[in-house]
Structure 1
């Protein structure tokens, strides 16, 4: 997997992939990632919803209010 040009550095795109990533519930191997990317997935406990919230936060979308009426804003839920 490390020698293959496909599926490597799928997240950070710049750090050498040296850690085998696996699904924690099944043990099935997903690919090879850098230490930081593998740690981030492990920290989120394989929850894709947590990854989406993280991306929204980093993009600044999590706290951008939407104007729904004059003087009335709604935060994303």
Structure 2
């Protein structure tokens, strides 16, 4: 078990297993990235929409 904290504020959020704590860190605590990660194994693959070279937008 690992104590999870917000890297910006230092505030403790809770206790997580190593894998969950690492996953949040790798996703940089980004809720949108977490939602895409959850959708992927469910078969809802995120496909970006290219607006301009190097500029992508998530479909709504």
List per-residue Cα deviations over 1:18-72 (Å, max 9, x = no partner).
1000111111111000001100000001101100010111111126xxxxxxxxx
Q: Equivalent of 2:38, from 55, 58, 62?
A: 55
Is the contact made by 1:23 and 1:30 (CA closer than 8 Å) also made in structure 2? yes
Matched, 1:41 2:24: yes
Residue ranges of structure 2 left out of the alignment (5+ in a row): 47-57
* Contact 1:22–1:30 under 8 Å retained in 2: yes
Match of 1:27 in 2: 10
Q: Say which one has the larger Rg.
A: 1
Structure with bigger strand share is 2
Secondary structure of the 2:35 match is helix
Measured in 1, the distance between the counterparts of 2:40 and 2:8 equals 27
Shift >6 Å, 4+ stretches: none
Root-mean-square deviation (CA), in Å? 1.5
Is there any run of 5+ residues in structure 1 with no aligned partner, and where?
1-17, 64-75
Q: State the TM-score, normalizing by the size of structure 1.
A: 0.57
Q: Match for residue 55 of structure 2?
A: none
